Structure 1
Amino acid sequence: MAIDSSKKKKKKLKRASVFQNSSSFMASSSTVSSCFIRNRRITILSVSLIVSVIVIFYISSIAIKKMKFEEVISSQISSIEVVNEFPHDPNAFTQGLLYGGNDTFFESTGVYGRSSVRKVALHTGKVEVLQKMDDSYFGEGLTLLGERLFQVTWLKKIGFVYDRYNLSKFEEFTHEMRDGWGLATDGEVLFGSDGSSTLYKLSPHTFKVIEKATVKYKDFEVHNLNELEYINGEVWANVWSSDCIARISPKDGIVLGWILLPNLRNHLFQAGNVGIDVLNGIAWDSEKNRIFVTGKLWPKLYEIKLHPIREPFHGSIERHCLRRRAFGFAEP
């Protein structure tokens, strides 16, 4: 009986040991499984966080680049402040304008039978010296190089050279542009326009084309380039039939910026000057860094300052500056 009892005790202890080992194994397996699941969740969470950070950084970088791009684009567009107003001959169909020093201007006017080259006093608008052109010529762009004034004419490849002091005519020349619209100089070459999108570089000695560039803004060609002025390494051009001035790189013809001036003409209209024509005429006083503008048949000449438009520009340069509009006269 004692032997049987001992055997039973051994069997019970063996079963208990097996049960405990089994329970221990199951507990261990459960612990490993829990750790694995927890680690997996942590890994997934970490990866998700990393991906989220990358996505946020990417979106932010795009937004920053867009903001910077918009800031650059808007800073290329300028409005103006009128610093001074001066009287201007309301019968002058202004085609070329330049500052001659000592508060005087040289001006070329158009219209058959009324075309002229003149020296004008800034503060009074009085014409001090006048050289009337032959009735068969329509005066256009004008520039000063050394002691000589250069002028081109509309619809002809003929130009004239005048003495800057008494406006006596030196000589007649022919050029290779399609037509004569605007002239300017950097002191070495002549820049010319013919109403197209081409900016010409001309020799002041032979008047042959040295180089030419197509003027472009983004992917748009800028046509109707009219009166020109060379200012601080840029060629500024009135865009005919618009209230805009294009600031052009003379190296490649790329438009570096725009100046919007619609308020000038609107102000003149509101004051009862209904007979005025388009904005045309840019002059620069390099000594005092003054910029002057006027228009055809305008009774005022304005000294202006530029103010870059920093806020987003609500409008379209294409609509404001590149669409052709007419205001009475068909001549450029």
Structure 2
Amino acid sequence: MRGLVLVPLAACFFLGSLPGMASDGGELRKTSSGGLAPERLRVEVLEALAHDPGAFTQGLEMYAGRLYESTGMLGQSSVRVGLPGQTPAVRAQLEDSLFGEGVTVIGRTMWQLTWQNRVAIKRDSQTLAELRRLPYAGEGWGICYQRHRRRVVTSDGSAELTYRDPENLREISRISVTDDGRPMTHLNELECVDDTVYANVWGTDKIAKIDTTTGKVAAVVDAEGIRNTDTRAGVLNGIAAIPGTDQFLITGKYWPTMFKVRFVRPVDQ
């Protein structure tokens, strides 16, 4: 891996900030219209964990202490669940004609999207057994569940997020995502944290932190420093919040490593 620095955990204490000031006393960057521009963050690596190098990771989510992961590619698509860094305890394979995409858990059930097959699969979240299939319009990319709003959020590679009914994935509404006033396209794998959605930006080492009320990008995380140098490893894809903490698990397609991280300000800010 290139540029990986393991940073020891440290206790940090933050004082309240004055308007227009960052919590470390630095002035927040302004947009041309006078508003606050998205924060620029980096990844602080806390721990490196084993990850299946044969997994073309499409979705990643922590729920009830277990890690759910969906993988893609025709003939190789699957969904699996287990403890982070360990061999999955349960695994379900998709038929060869389906290209698996994002996954999200909703209590005893879960949804798994497919890319261009126009079908979504509802599963038992404990056994991964298929319960039913529903038609799904357009391409399936990322998916996550906002529990407090009782809605599913999905992406399709565009600059839009779609809000859906968690029972049947019926579209409720859409919102356009903008970074400093410009559309942010290629939104891919998603992770819901309260009113925020974290999105991998396809083809890059960046993760966007999106306000799901306004559609504005609140921060952009640059994760370039942890990219694997394994010759088969692909792009960054897969982000799972660790409930009750400020930490995340992130990985990529065919990466042999998964990282436990925090998103922090660059040291020069």
Question: By the TM > 0.5 criterion, same fold?
Answer: yes
Q: Hey, what does 2:57 align to over in structure 1?
A: 94
Check if 1:199 corresponds to 2:199: no
Q: Hey, what does 1:264 align to over in structure 2?
A: 226
**Which amino acid is 1:76 matched to?**
E
Aligned partners of 1:289, 1:307: CA distance in 2, in Å? Answer: 10
Q: How many residues align?
A: 239
Aligned partners of 1:217, 1:75: CA distance in 2, in Å? Answer: 7
**Which amino acid is 1:179 matched to?**
E
Instruction: Verify the 8 A CA contact 1:283 1:293 in the aligned structure 2.
Output: yes
Supply the RMSD in Å over aligned alpha carbons. 1.9
Check if 1:132 corresponds to 2:93: yes
Q: Hey, what does 1:308 align to over in structure 2?
A: 265
**Corresponding residue SS for 1:127:** coil
Aligned partners of 2:252, 2:36: CA distance in 1, in Å? Answer: 28
Q: Hey, what does 1:154 align to over in structure 2?
A: 115
Q: Hey, what does 1:295 align to over in structure 2?
A: 252
Instruction: Verify the 8 A CA contact 2:39 2:220 in the aligned structure 1.
Output: yes
User: What's the CA shift for 1:120?
Assistant: 2.7
Instruction: Verify the 8 A CA contact 2:102 2:113 in the aligned structure 1.
Output: yes
User: What's the CA shift for 1:73?
Assistant: 5.8
> Equivalent of 2:143, from 183, 197, 204?
183
> Equivalent of 2:134, from 160, 166, 173?
173
Instruction: Verify the 8 A CA contact 1:290 1:303 in the aligned structure 2.
Output: yes
**Corresponding residue SS for 1:162:** strand
**Which amino acid is 1:117 matched to?**
V
User: What's the CA shift for 1:307?
Assistant: 1.3
Q: Hey, what does 2:203 align to over in structure 1?
A: 241
Higher Rg: 1
User: What's the CA shift for 1:175?
Assistant: 2.9
Which region of structure 1 is more displaced relative to structure 2, 156-165 or 90-99? 156-165
Aligned partners of 1:204, 1:264: CA distance in 2, in Å? Answer: 34
Q: Hey, what does 1:77 align to over in structure 2?
A: 40
Aligned partners of 2:80, 2:168: CA distance in 1, in Å? Answer: 25
Which region of structure 1 is more displaced relative to structure 2, 71-80 or 247-256? 71-80
Which region of structure 1 is more displaced relative to structure 2, 133-142 or 285-294? 285-294
User: What's the CA shift for 1:310?
Assistant: 6.8
- The structure in which a higher percent of residues are helix is 1
Instruction: Verify the 8 A CA contact 1:74 1:309 in the aligned structure 2.
Output: no
- The structure in which a higher percent of residues are strand is 2
Q: Hey, what does 1:251 align to over in structure 2?
A: 213
- Which blocks of at least 5 consecutive residues in structure 1 are unaligned? 1-63, 313-332
Aligned partners of 2:244, 2:163: CA distance in 1, in Å? Answer: 25
Aligned partners of 2:27, 2:79: CA distance in 1, in Å? Answer: 47
Aligned partners of 2:29, 2:266: CA distance in 1, in Å? Answer: 11
Report Cα offsets for 1:80-110 as digits up to 9, x if no partner. Answer: 11001110000000000001333x2111000
Where does structure 1 differ by over 2 angstroms across 4 or more consecutive aligned residues? 67-75, 287-290, 309-312
Q: What TM-score comes out, normalization by structure 2 length?
A: 0.84
Aligned partners of 1:241, 1:157: CA distance in 2, in Å? Answer: 23
> Equivalent of 1:283, from 240, 248, 254?
240
**Which amino acid is 1:213 matched to?**
I
**Which amino acid is 1:285 matched to?**
I
Q: What TM-score comes out, normalization by structure 1 length?
A: 0.68
